[in-house]
Homo-oligomer: A and B are copies of this chain.
Amino acid sequence: MYDVVTLGETLIRLTPPNFRLLEQTDLLTMYVAGSESNVAVGLARLGLSVCWLSRLTDNAIGHYTTSRIGGHGVDVSRVIWTTEDRVGLYFVEEGRLPRSSSVLYDRRHSAMSQMQPDDLPADLFVPGASRLLHLSGITPALGSRAAATFRHAFELAKAAGWQVSFDLNFRGKLWTEAEARACYEQYLPQSDIIITPMGDARRIFGWDGDAAAVLNKLHQRCPQAVAVLTLGADGAAACDPSGEHYHQPVFPAEQIDRIGGGDAFDAGFLYSVLRGDNTPTALRWGAAVAALKYTIPGDMPVVNHADVLRLVESGSSSATIVR
């Protein structure tokens, strides 16, 4: 019995040390990085029982991937192994103003992009086996096979009576806005928790207005869900099925490594929801895990429950109801 099951692609991230450019280095730091596995790691470290599903090539790079995710207590025993395809990569040159961090994807033809609905462990998707399935919009963007697998997982989870959380995670390098919108429109009405950067929501759906306006639009379209907008430096806002709006400012953070902040937010938010907190409290947990993540090298939120709790309970930055 898991608290959360996630499904998604995980890449190897390669980064030159000490702000060097790739042309200036002969050394690379290697991390394991995937939106859904990042969320899984955060949830497991906070104390939940988490299973990560994916498809990986059965070689040293694939095993490196599961060792690093499994080392944080995530159950990786249901990963599908294949002798084909590859583990995707991405290169990051960490920048500082005015040189932005540069991300170079080399993720095509990955094992996960070729995962098929039949690869899903059907015996897992039964009532009571998990409380929630966490998905992101990266998976359907990986190609038709992955999209079908995404659909199948979504349907199986709903059929089993699990909740589904859906982080839209728009990736403009993987598909067009129109493709993304078509996909999102299909799954938003069935999602229990929806998380997206506000900018993406506006761009994809063509919505105007401020956070409140966008939240309202999202609420109208999916009144059943808790909808969360992440607002960058402005924190995060949410609207729950009651229609009430909440806002949580960011916790100030000195940024060591910004990548993975959104996934960290998801982990904090979902953790809090699953322990029964109300929406503003969940926003606060999300913001706290994200802030801590910014200080941690790599993509994963390698946090401790005690540190997050201390930050959540600190005086500053309380989430407030916005009427």
A126 contacts B by Cβ under 8 Å? no
Which one of A27-35, A224-232, A236-244, A269-277 is at the interface? A27-35
Give the interface centre of A98, A288, A297 by most chain B CB atoms within 10 Å.
A98
Measured between beta carbons, the chain B residues less than 8 angstroms from A295 are 19, 95-99
Which one of A57-65, A146-154, A170-178, A197-205 is at the interface? A57-65
Q: CB within 8 Å of B: which of A284-323? A: 288, 291-292, 295-298, 302, 307, 311, 314
With both beta carbons as reference points, the residue of chain B lying nearest to A293 in the complex is identified as: B99
Measured between beta carbons, the chain B residues less than 8 angstroms from A91 are 60-61
Are A26's CB and B29's CB within 8 A?
Answer: yes
Task: Take A97-B253, A106-B86, A253-B97 as given contacts and tell me if A28 and B30 are in contact as well, using a CB distance cutoff of 8 Å.
Answer: yes
Q: Nearest Cβ in chain B — how far from A302, in angstroms?
A: 5
Which one of A1-9, A68-76, A186-194, A213-221 is at the interface? A68-76
Q: Nearest Cβ in chain B — how far from A111, in angstroms?
A: 12
A71 to B67, CA, bound (A): 4
A251 contacts B by Cβ under 8 Å? yes
Q: Nearest Cβ in chain B — how far from A298, in angstroms?
A: 7
Candidates B59, B73, B87, B256; contact of A96 at CB < 8 Å: B256
Candidates B68, B106, B296, B314; contact of A71 at CB < 8 Å: B68
A210 contacts B by Cβ under 8 Å? no
A251 to B100, CA, bound (A): 13
A187 to B96, CA, bound (A): 39
A24 to B60, CA, bound (A): 10
A95 to B99, CA, bound (A): 22
With both beta carbons as reference points, the residue of chain B lying nearest to A25 in the complex is identified as: B30
A306 to B31, CA, bound (A): 26
Candidates B21, B24, B60, B253; contact of A98 at CB < 8 Å: B253
Q: Nearest Cβ in chain B — how far from A47, in angstroms?
A: 12
Q: Nearest Cβ in chain B — how far from A46, in angstroms?
A: 13
Are A302's CB and B24's CB within 8 A?
Answer: yes
Measured between beta carbons, the chain B residues less than 8 angstroms from A129 are none
Candidates B21, B98, B253; contact of A302 at CB < 8 Å: B21
Are B18's CB and A97's CB within 8 A?
Answer: no
A interface residues (Cβ-Cβ under 8 A, vs B): 14, 17-31, 59-61, 63-64, 67-68, 70-73, 77, 86-87, 89, 91, 93, 95-99, 102, 104, 106, 108-109, 251-254, 256, 288, 291-292, 295-298, 302, 307, 311, 314
Supply 13 further A-B pairs (C-beta < 8 A) apart from A18-B297, A28-B28.
Answer: A21-B296, A22-B64, A23-B63, A23-B72, A24-B298, A24-B302, A28-B29, A60-B102, A86-B108, A97-B252, A98-B288, A98-B295, A99-B295
Question: 9 closest Cβ contacts across the A-B interface?
Answer: A71-B71, A67-B71, A96-B254, A22-B60, A99-B295, A28-B28, A96-B295, A97-B254, A19-B256
